[in-house]
Structure 1
Amino acid sequence: MLYADYVVIEWMVLPSFTDSLWGAFHVLAFNSVLFLAFLAHLRAMITDPGIVPMHKNNELTKVRVLPMSDDDYSDESDTDVFLKKPSFVGEDWSLCTKCESFRPPRAHHCRICRRCIRKMDHHCPWVNNCVGEFNQKHFLQFIFYVGILSAYAIGLIITSWVYHDHYGVTGAKGPYGERAQHTKVIHTICLTIESALFGLFVLAVACDQLQAIFNEETVVESVVRRGAGRIRRRPAKSKYELLREVCGPGHWSLWVLPCTSLTAERDFVHFPIDLKNMNV
C-alpha cells in the first residue's frame, strides 16, 4: 500500500493536478483512507479475537469422555481427561481436549494459536491473528478500505492519463523527456496489476465474510456441517440484526470507523479467583 501511495501522489495526482485544488483533495482523501486501512489492520491484529480463558485453579477434576457408540462400554475405549470445570459452565458448553478447557457454544480450537476462539471464522495470515467474535468487525473494515483504495487508485490512473500533459513533468516533451513518461507507464502497469489483484481478492473475501454473517455460520461451522451431511438452518434474525452483532449496536454510519471494540460489551467469560470446582 505504501508503493501505491507513492505512485498515486508522485506520478498520478501531482503531475495532473498541479494548479488545481483537486490535487490536494485527492492526496488528502487517498491518504485518509490509507490511514483508516492501517488502523483497521492494527486493530484486527492486536484485538483479542475471543480467546476462551483457561481456568488456573490447581485442583483438578477427573472427566470421563464416553465412546461414540452406545453398545461399546469397554474401559479401553474410554478416555480419562483431567480438567477443571468452573461453576458457570452450562450444559451447552463443549469440552476441548486439545487445550483442556470448557468453551461456550460456537467456539472452536485454532491449531495455530493453540487456544479456543469464540465464533472463530479462520486464522488470517494477513493480520497474524484469528478472526473471531471480537475482531471480525475490524477485519471487515480492513478489507473494505483496501477495496476502496484499489478502486480509487484505478480511478486516479485513468484520470491522470485522460488529463496527461505531453509538456508536463511526466510528458514526453516535458523537462525530463521520454524517460519520465516511460517511468510513468511502468508505474501505471505495476499499480494497475496490484490494485486489480488486491481489489478482486478483497471482494471475494468480503463476499465470503458477508455470506457467513448472513447465514449465521462461520467457515469452520460450515465445514463441520457439510462434513456431517446436515442442511444449513435458516437464520431467525434479519440481516441488519446479524450485522449489528458483528459491528456493534451503534448507528450503522459508525460501523466503518475502527475505533471501538465489542470486547468490553460482551466479555462475560472470566474466572474469578474464588471459584470452586464442581464434579462433572
Structure 2
Amino acid sequence: MPPLLSLETSSRAPYERLPGAVSASEDDDSVVDVDEDADGIQRKRKRWWSYVPLCCLLVLLFGPQYSVLTVLVSYYLQIHDTPVLFSIHLFDVCLLIFLACCSLLVCVVRDPGAIRVGEEVHSNEPEDEDEDEETELMDALRMPVVTKTRDDDDFNAPHKWCKKCWAPKPERTHHCSACGRCVLKMDHHCPWLASKCLGQWTYTAFLHFLLCITLLSAYICILSSRVVYVAFVNPFLVNERTALHALFLSIYGAIFFLVVGPFLLWHMYLVSTNQTTIENLSPFLLLRYLPPTNPATSPDPTTTRSPSGTLPQTTTHTPSQRQTSHFPSQSRNRLNNPAPIHPREHQLSSTQRRHVRMAHGSIRLYDVGFVENWRQVVGIGKRGWKGYGDGKSFPRNPRAESMLARLAAELENEDKFD
C-alpha cells in the first residue's frame, strides 16, 4: 500500500528555472516577444520599433558627412590647394567617426551585465549542473528556520533576490521594467541603443561614445566656422554651395556639442563620485543602507503618515490559533524576536524627507577617491578602458557608515517629535 503522504526533495537550486522557461537575465532582453521555433524551444525576439531610435542615431552620425567632404574638397583642395591639410582633417573626422561607431557597436551588442540563473551572488563561476544537490529529509528538517523580514518584499534591496526575473540581485543591481531583467550596476535605460540598458560591461563604451561625439561635433563646428567666416569676409573666394554646407555644419556641430557635451560632463561627474544615474536621482535609496532600527519602536510599513506627520491608528493582526498550533516554536520566535526593519519612504514625514534629500548630496556610499573611482570604470594602466571588478561587490566609502548612522539618528529624533 503506498504511503498517504510522501515527502520529496528537489535537487534543483532554489533559483533555478524550470526547463523551457525564459530567463530575463540571460542575453538580450529589451522590448521582446517570445516565440517558439520548430523544436519547441522558446526564443526571444526584439520588436522592430526598438531599432528605430538607433537608425535615427546612425542617420544623424553619417548624414552630414557629405557636407563635410564637400567643404574639405572645395576649401582645401580647390581654393587653397593644400592636400596635406585636407588629408589631416579628413583623417581626423574619419577616425572620430570610426571610434564612435566601435563604441556604439559595443553598447548595442554586448550584454550590459546579466545575472546568470544558477549563479551565486558572489561567485564568478556558474554552478556545475551535474553536481548532486539532493537534500535528505532529515537534513532538511535540521535546517534553521528562516524568518522572513519586511525587507524581503523589497525587490531592489541589496543582496536580495529579484522576484520578477527570479535571479540573484547583487549590490547596485536594479531591475529594469522596460527590459524585464536585472542589470549589474545599472546606470539607466537608453532607447537610443536599441532599447537597452547601460550597466557594468557597457558603461565604459558609453563614455567613450559620448567623448567621441563631443570631440567630433566640436571639430566639425570649428572647421566649418572658419569657412563661414572666410565666406563673409571674402564672398568671392568661397562659392555659395560651399558656404551653405559650411553654415549647415557649423550649426549642426554646435547643436550636438551643446547637447552631448553637458551630458558627457554629467557622466564624468558621476564617475568621479562613483555614482550611477539611478543612485544620483533617487535620494531615498539611502534608506536601504541605514542601520536597522528596533522594530518595536518603528512604525509598521503597511501604515502611512497623514499630512500632519502623525501615524493613524492601526489594528494589530495576530495569528490565529490554527495558524500557530502547527508551528508553535517558529511563531513564538517570530513574535518575540522580530527582525530589524528599515524605514520606507512612505513612512517619513516631510521633515524627515528633507533630511534624507539633504544628506543624499553628501553621503556617497561608493566614493573611494577620484583615481580609484575612475579605475573602477575605465581602468588605469595596462588595462585601459576596461574597468575593474565583477559588478557584484564594490568597496565602500569608509566614512559612509558613520554618516548613515548620523542620518538614522536624525530621522529617529524627528520621529519622536512628530
Provide TM-score, normalisation by structure 2: 0.49
The equivalent residue for 1:266 is 390
Query: Is the Cα–Cα contact under 8 Å of residues 13 and 160 in structure 1 kept in the other structure?
Result: no
Distance in 1 (CA, whole Å) between partners of 2:247 and 2:149 is: 61
Letter in structure 2 aligned against 1:96: C
The equivalent residue for 1:207 is 265
Distance in 2 (CA, whole Å) between partners of 1:220 and 1:211 is: 14
Taking every aligned residue pair, what percent have the same amino acid on both sides?
A: 26
The equivalent residue for 2:246 is 188
Aligned 1:54-65 pairs, distance under 5 A = 54-55=117-118
Distance 1:54 1:64, change over 3 A: farther
Distance in 2 (CA, whole Å) between partners of 1:157 and 1:64 is: 68
Q: Does 1:104 align with 2:170?
A: yes
Query: Is the Cα–Cα contact under 8 Å of residues 200 and 391 in structure 2 kept in the other structure?
Result: no
Query: Is the Cα–Cα contact under 8 Å of residues 44 and 138 in structure 1 kept in the other structure?
Result: yes
Gaps of at least 5 residues in structure 1 are 69-77, 82-90, 172-180, 256-260, 270-280
Distance 1:200 1:154, change over 3 A: same
Distance in 1 (CA, whole Å) between partners of 2:148 and 2:263 is: 38
Segment drifting more, 237-246 vs 154-163: 154-163
The equivalent residue for 2:349 is none
Q: Post-superposition shift, 1:42?
A: 0.7
Letter in structure 1 aligned against 2:92: A
Which of residues 85, 91, 110 in structure 2 aligns to 1:28?
A: 91
Letter in structure 1 aligned against 2:220: A
Q: Does 1:240 align with 2:240?
A: no
Q: Does 1:149 align with 2:216?
A: yes
Q: Does 1:52 align with 2:118?
A: no
Q: Post-superposition shift, 1:25?
A: 0.8
Q: Post-superposition shift, 1:105?
A: 0.4
Distance in 1 (CA, whole Å) between partners of 2:88 and 2:227 is: 14
The equivalent residue for 1:138 is 205
Distance in 2 (CA, whole Å) between partners of 1:224 and 1:244 is: 24
Q: Post-superposition shift, 1:126?
A: 2.1
Query: Is the Cα–Cα contact under 8 Å of residues 221 and 252 in structure 2 kept in the other structure?
Result: no
The equivalent residue for 1:43 is 106
Query: Is the Cα–Cα contact under 8 Å of residues 37 and 146 in structure 1 kept in the other structure?
Result: yes
Distance 1:7 1:45, change over 3 A: same
Q: Post-superposition shift, 1:149?
A: 0.8
Distance in 1 (CA, whole Å) between partners of 2:229 and 2:174 is: 52
The equivalent residue for 1:8 is 68
Distance in 2 (CA, whole Å) between partners of 1:115 and 1:136 is: 17
Distance 1:266 1:102, change over 3 A: closer
SS of the equivalent of 2:282 reads helix
Deviations 1:134-191 (A, max 9, x none): 11110000010000111011111122234557566x52xxxxxxxxx1x334433432
Gaps of at least 5 residues in structure 2 are 1-60, 120-128, 135-139, 141-145, 286-344, 346-352, 394-418
The equivalent residue for 1:72 is none
Distance 1:185 1:163, change over 3 A: closer
Deviations 1:246-272 (A, max 9, x none): 0024359x44xxxxx559x73779xxx
The equivalent residue for 1:277 is none
SS of the equivalent of 1:159 reads helix
Distance 1:48 1:250, change over 3 A: farther
The equivalent residue for 1:159 is 226
Aligned 1:46-125 pairs, distance under 5 A = 46-55=109-118, 66-67=149-150, 93-125=159-191
Q: Post-superposition shift, 1:6?
A: 1.6
Query: Is the Cα–Cα contact under 8 Å of residues 5 and 31 in structure 1 kept in the other structure?
Result: no
Distance in 1 (CA, whole Å) between partners of 2:90 and 2:69 is: 6
Number of equivalences: 231
Indicate the structure with greater strand content.
1
SS of the equivalent of 1:123 reads strand
Bigger relative contact order (CA 8 A; separation at least 6): 1
Q: Post-superposition shift, 1:216?
A: 2.0
The equivalent residue for 2:76 is 17
Q: Post-superposition shift, 1:65?
A: 5.2
SS of the equivalent of 2:175 reads strand
Query: Is the Cα–Cα contact under 8 Å of residues 228 and 247 in structure 2 kept in the other structure?
Result: no
Distance 1:151 1:5, change over 3 A: same
Provide TM-score, normalisation by structure 1: 0.70
Which of residues 276, 281, 296 in structure 2 aligns to 1:218?
A: 276
Query: Is the Cα–Cα contact under 8 Å of residues 4 and 153 in structure 1 kept in the other structure?
Result: no
